[in-house]
Amino acid sequence: MVKKRKISPASSQLQQCLTSQEIQQYCFEKISAKKRNKIFTHLNIQKCRRCIDMYHLVENSNHQDRPEFDLGVEFKLSMIEKMKNQKIDKFPCNIPLRIEKGQIWTISTEIRDINNQVVSKQETGIPVLVFFPGNKTKGLDNYIHVFPLSFDTEFQMEKESCVVKITDELSLLCEIFNEKTILARNLYEFKWIVPDKECEKILKIHEDFINEQEKKRDLQYELWKQKEVEIAELFSLPKVITTNQIRLEQIKKAADSSDFELTDYQFYPLIQMDDWSMTIVQKRDILFLQFICDKPILYSLKIDNQIRKMIEKTKGDFEMELFKINNLPQLVEISIVIKGKELIFKPHFKQN
């Protein structure tokens, strides 16, 4: 039996939890429909254990009647002194010139799109670990890949996440299952750098994770995971998923027919835009991915969750080998991040 975790899945990172004052307003005062709806959902649909307990605790009392109080001066001074003398771990105060793999940054509370427009505002921004820094700048269209980090180390799950030690007593949970592509400009403050060795270990777990089938775990964990994914989607690039079927043509061999055309290519377009396109090309018994663009565009490509690079054959014509026909998987996931969006294609292959 799975041991129950202490943290309520809906309370992850305390981010969406309510204060007792907010719950009190909900219980005894007139509030806006939006706020009421948000609190109702958190209590009754997400069923946050922590906030339900708070709901039962609140009392209807007149706050204005409560007199102000203060601590004794001596006590106050002793607390300040204690705070001063406490040994704390210091964090780096430099700002790195370039974004590098292994850096931990916080996400900005104002999320901007590729046109530098604010698309959403969050109350808090979570930390992320950069594992693919793109062109290493905070430039307009630099796409980077990150793992969100959380404080909920209780939810560590083998092969899906790992604990990153920051100081002797502070660790963060690296959510390998929750990898996201973001615009580098949405990084806010540099906080820490994970040593290379530990970074390699994380990337190895990630590699294992993408090569393995995702398993369903206990409900409490799944609820938490879903919440974390939702939080990360607030700052990651919007995704557009397209599923289609590709019926591959039979390629004749020279010996089969006298009228055989040796340059017999088949094209299966995935997307065609005004200034760029992406196509799967069948060249005899090999499948290639072709990307054509009018003028240089920054993009980032992943095939089955692995970051890949294409070779520029001629100017604006990129290509990479996907599979040999006799080694063809049933499904492939091609993800391209371009012009502020992540387009995911999931073609199913069928052979004639």
Partner 1 sequence: MGTKFIEALIKKYKGLEYDEVYYFNSILSIMKNAYKARYPHIYIGVNPNDNKAKIEKTNFSNENGTVIVEFETFASWCMDKLVAQKLEQKSYFKSFQNDNQLARYFYKAFENLLIEEIAKLTPGLSSRIKQIDKALKDHCDFDDLQGKKYFRLKKLYTVPVTKEKLFEIAATFQQPEFKYPKKKDAVNNPSIRKNDMQAYLLDIIRQCGGMVFRNDMISLIKERYGYKTLSIVSPSALRKKDGDISENNYFEDFLSVQDSGSNDFCLGQEHYSMALELHDQMDNIMKDVYYYRRVQGFKTQKTAGILVCSVGTVNNLEKAINVCISEYFVTDLGEANHLEQKNQTTPEEINAVLYLLNHLLLEERMN
Tell me which of 10, 107, 202, 280 binds partner 1, using CB under 8 A.
107
Q: What's the min distance (Å) between Cβ of 114 and partner 1?
A: 21
| Minimum distance, C-beta of residue 293 to partner 1, in the bound complex (Å) | 35
Residues of span 292-331 touching partner 1 by CB under 8 A: none
- Letters for 240-279 (x = contact with partner 1 by CB under 8 A, - = none) are ----------------------------------------
Closer to partner 1 by Cβ: residue 7 or 280: 7
How many whole angstroms separate alpha carbon 27 and alpha carbon 131? Answer: 45
Q: Let me know: does 117 contact 140? Beta carbons within 8 Å.
A: no
Q: Cβ distance 193 to 104 under 8 Å? A: yes
CA torsion sign for 123, 124, 125, 126 is negative
Q: Are 141 and 210 in contact (CB under 8 A)?
A: no
Instruction: List the interface residues with partner 1, window 31-60 (CB under 8 A).
Output: 31-34, 36-37, 39-41, 43-45, 49-50, 52-60
Task: Output the smallest distance, CB 154 to partner 1, in A.
Answer: 14
Instruction: Report in angstroms the alpha-carbon separations of 107 from 92, 164, 166, 190, 239.
Output: 17, 18, 18, 9, 19
- Closer of 69 and 267 to partner 1 (Cβ): 69
Which residues between 154 and 193 bind partner 1 (CB under 8 A)? 166-167, 169-170, 172, 188-189, 191-192
In the list 1, 3, 4, 88, the residue contacting partner 1 (rule: CB under 8 A) is 88
| Positions 58 through 77 that interact with partner 1 (CB under 8 A) | 58-61, 63, 65-67, 69-72, 75-76
Does 96 contact partner 1 by CB under 8 A?
Answer: no
Minimum gap (Å) between residue 129 Cβ and partner 1: 11
- Contact stretch for partner 1 (CB under 8 A) within 80-88, 136-144, 211-219, 277-285: 80-88
Nearer to partner 1, 172 or 270 (CB): 172
Element (H, E) at 23: helix 20-28
Amino acid (1-letter code) at residue 11: S
Binding partner 1 (rule: CB under 8 A), the pick from 2, 3, 64, 84 is 84
108 binds partner 1 (CB under 8 A): yes
Residues with Cβ within 8 Å of residue 219, at least 6 apart in sequence: none
Residue 232 main-chain phi, psi, to 5 deg: -70, -30
Asked if residues 19 and 50 have their Cβ atoms less than 8 Å apart, the reply is no
Q: Kindly tell me which of 149 and 301 has the beta carbon lying closer to partner 1.
A: 149
Measured distance CA(182)–CA(180) in Å, rounded: 6
Nearer to partner 1, 198 or 285 (CB): 198
Surface-to-core class of residue 8, CB atoms within 10 Å of its CB (0-12 exposed, 13-18 middle, 19+ buried): buried
How far apart are alpha carbons 304 and 331 in whole angstroms?
9
Nearer to partner 1, 83 or 262 (CB): 83
Rounded CA-CA distance 41/204 in Å is 38
Q: Choose between 104 and 144: whose C-beta lies nearer to partner 1.
A: 104
Residues in CB range of 307: below 8 A, 6 or more apart: 132, 145, 300, 301
- Cα(143)–Cα(184) distance, rounded to whole angstroms? 6
Quote the strand ranges of 166-222, DSSP E.
171-175, 180-183, 187-193
Closest to partner 1 by CB, 107 vs 301, is 107
Q: Which is nearer to partner 1, 91 or 260 (CB)?
A: 91
Task: Please select the residue that binds partner 1; options are 10, 111, 126, 199, rule is CB under 8 A.
Answer: 126
Pairwise CA distance, residues 347 & 336, whole Å: 14
Q: Which of residues 12-31 bind partner 1 (CB under 8 A)?
A: 14, 17, 19-21, 24, 26-31
Q: Shortest gap between Cβ of 116 and partner 1 (angstroms)?
A: 19
